[in-house]
Structure 1
Amino acid sequence: MKMNRIASLFLFLLSTTLLISCGNADDDVSLNLNTGGDLGLGKPVDNCLDFGENELLLSIQDQFTTLPGKVSIFFRVSDEFGNPVAGLNASQFTVYEQGRNDDCFNTISASESQARISPNSQIFRNHTLLVLDLSNSVLSSSLPELKSASTSFINNVMPEMANESFQMAVYWFDGEDVLHELHPLTSNRSLLIDAIDSITTDISQDPSTDLYGAVLKSTDIAEDLLDDAAQSQIIGAASVVLFTDGTDQASRYSESSALEAVEEADSNISFFTIGLGAEIDSDVLEEIGKTFSVFAGNKEELEVTFNQLSQKVSERANSFYLFEYCSPKRDGSGENNLVIRVLNNGLSGAVQTKFDATGFTAGCE
């Protein structure tokens, strides 16, 4: 990363109106669903295209072909700082193919190839774990604000129409050695909101705060979700979003064990933290929320803070794309090279891969 770009990012962070910490901001290498580098299963583009340096990174997570001639590429898009790039459409992508008789790559017509961004629910699941501190200090002083902020978070992150690609569960903790499940994973945001509405001031039987235990247990849950997805041959990503208004008081688990769990967690898991008030340890919360952390000075700022974090969580979930097109290659052409390039707000990036056209014929739709 160039020094002037680092400086620009630093100045941008200083200009935000809320006290925000991007802590140990993640980069595309640490958050890839594959560990093969920035480009995932892809590789750098052949020099014959002369695209120059990538300003956007396309990290290929999976790819497959479907007869009679469809090529499908599943990838994540991020900028050079690791920030997710969401909301792209098919018209922003250009496809290039290189067959056995081509010195370089030929542009494939987007209209003739019927290029499109397709729903990815069959191959991808994004799990969000909303983990709420319901210790005595929250229940006695800021529960209405927390419920309102959590409801806004759910509305912002979860699609209005249920989509199996996006699932959320809500958990809460107090001083017990338990991470309580308020609502299991679901794609129905109304059920999640009803669960938040059901929280009452007498929900907890232990006024202490087992913050580190909550970190350890939610990390384990996220790991298990990714393992389950892999067993079902589905690509999984997870986000742990943890809210607290204080520090660990139970002392059941050590700070070092919690931070170690976060640091060593599966690279497919993102960690976000929200801190409220003056009694939090912002340094610890920044380390737990290694992807993004944000702080509210008082309960009146809580909903705005949750909304800001929800944008980060939503952007990450929506930066995964299933791009599909109908290739003009036909059976007998063998293995062909493929490049996908994206343009967005004056920035560009590209990735190269290959596909086998065995069996390809006309009739792709």
Structure 2
Amino acid sequence: MKLFTKLFALFFTATLVLSCGNSDDDVDFLLNPGGKFGKGGQVDDCLGFGENELILSIQEQFTTLPGKVSILFRVSDVDDNPISGLTADQFTIFEQGRNDDCFNTISKSESQARISPNSQIFSTNTLLVLDLSNSVLSSSLDELKSASISFVDNVMPATTNEAFKMAIYWFDGEDELHLLNPLTASKTELTAAIEGITDDISNDPSTDLYGAVIKSTDIASNVLAESTEGGKIGAASVVIFTDGTDQASRFTRASAQEKVDNANENISFFTIGLGAEIDTQVLMDIGKTASVFANNKEELETTFNEISQKVSERANSFYLFEYCSPKRDGSGDNNLAIQLKSGNLEGAVQTKFNANGFTGGCE
């Protein structure tokens, strides 16, 4: 498949993207490709930058004739917490050709440089998995429904966007992960499904928590595989709520943890616990991306909102940088550095591109 076709499917949701033509090269997109800098590396000492307190991890890069350079990267802190909400003026771009002793800052106006802030340039799918065992249905159902609706409101965009989808599942004591609403981009549909939950929905008062973890991980793996077909970028999140421990004992804690630990690295796991009967260590291990706990049902909405913020931040920590390089055919390989300053923190990454065939006319 030509890259133009892939990019059209991939970037149709991006709000700020420059266009300089089509490319005939196939690109294999993969999130977080090995190493903290991804496909990039540490910047040259000649720039005199300090230690990286922010990590710019290059996910993919490619050139497009007549002279466009495109870099897709993720921003996080040193603990891999995603950084979202960055703007173009926080980045500085440097270029070094074979006749340059060190890097020169590129002209944003002459190069039509643009970093797309908060652009969703990949599909993101969320699985919300709710414990509807008897303890929840009998004592905190109204609060759970309100918190879940708030979660949907915070994670899903105000305007329906096919790049953002969510499915809702629930579990009790049965050996089944029940589907409440299939994967959809409709916030209205998800909200209606939650509002329709009644206290007689379950036929088994027990809690099959480990089974829910295993089954939801399998579903997320399949969703991720489908969403990344054809070279597109995709990520998935599993968000599990419970107010207790596994009581059904169909599956072991070890088997559930193994499923999570061996899952695709582009699947994030979040857990939300309620009350005094939960095992916080179990939920923290399963929710390896983040876990939050509510002491009582009145705190449920706050904890759901906290997780929804983390889910959104992760999806919004990817940025697309594109510019029209002044380098021309015959200049060979050229080095490129991207520096970020956010408050008192900074970070940078270096890569290179080949200008073969580059001419004027890139807009």
Identify if the C-alpha distance between structure 1 residues 148 and 110 changes in structure 2 by more than 3 Å, giving closer, same or farther: same
Q: Deviations over 1:237-265 (max 9, x none)?
A: 22111000111111111111011111222
Counterpart Cα distance in 2 of 1:318 and 1:124: 10
Which runs of 5 or more structure 1 residues have no equivalent in the other structure? 1-31
1:124 to 95, 117, 122: 122
Q: For residue 246 of structure 2, what is the aligned residue in structure 1?
A: 248
Q: For residue 99 of structure 1, what is the aligned residue in structure 2?
A: 97
Structure 1 residue 315, shift from structure 2 partner: 1.0
Q: For residue 224 of structure 2, what is the aligned residue in structure 1?
A: 226
2:52 to 36, 51, 54: 54
Q: For residue 65 of structure 1, what is the aligned residue in structure 2?
A: 63
Percent of counterpart pairs with the same letter? 71
Scaled by the length of structure 1, what TM-score is found? 0.87
1:356 to 354, 357, 361: 354
Q: Deviations over 1:189-229 (max 9, x none)?
A: 22211221121122222221110011001111222222223
Give 4+ residue runs of structure 1 displaced > 4 Å after superposition: none
Letter in 2 for 1:111: S
Structure 1 residue 359, shift from structure 2 partner: 2.5
Counterpart Cα distance in 2 of 1:324 and 1:184: 36
Structure 1 residue 120, shift from structure 2 partner: 5.3
The equivalences for 1:148-297 within 5 A come to: 148-297=146-295
Letter in 2 for 1:269: I
Superposition CA RMSD, Å: 1.6
Structure 1 residue 134, shift from structure 2 partner: 1.0
Q: Is residue 174–residue 208 contact of structure 1 (8 Å, CA) maintained in 2?
A: yes
Letter in 2 for 1:330: R
Counterpart Cα distance in 2 of 1:289 and 1:236: 20
Which runs of 5 or more structure 2 residues have no equivalent in the other structure? 1-29
Q: Is residue 85–residue 316 contact of structure 1 (8 Å, CA) maintained in 2?
A: yes
Letter in 2 for 1:212: Y
Counterpart Cα distance in 2 of 1:166 and 1:190: 13
Q: Deviations over 1:307-363 (max 9, x none)?
A: 111111111111111122221122222221111111111211111111122232223
Counterpart Cα distance in 1 of 2:277 and 2:82: 31
Structure 1 residue 288, shift from structure 2 partner: 0.7
Counterpart Cα distance in 2 of 1:106 and 1:188: 47
Letter in 2 for 1:47: D
Q: For residue 142 of structure 1, what is the aligned residue in structure 2?
A: 140
Q: For residue 12 of structure 2, what is the aligned residue in structure 1?
A: none
Q: Is residue 90–residue 115 contact of structure 1 (8 Å, CA) maintained in 2?
A: no
Secondary structure of the residue aligned to 2:307 is helix
Q: For residue 334 of structure 2, what is the aligned residue in structure 1?
A: 336
Q: Does 1:314 align with 2:329?
A: no
Q: For residue 10 of structure 1, what is the aligned residue in structure 2?
A: none
Q: Between Structure 1 and Structure 2, how many residues are aligned? A: 333
Secondary structure of the residue aligned to 1:232 is helix
Identify if the C-alpha distance between structure 1 residues 333 and 188 changes in structure 2 by more than 3 Å, giving closer, same or farther: farther
Structure 1 residue 35, shift from structure 2 partner: 4.1
Scaled by the length of structure 2, what TM-score is found? 0.88
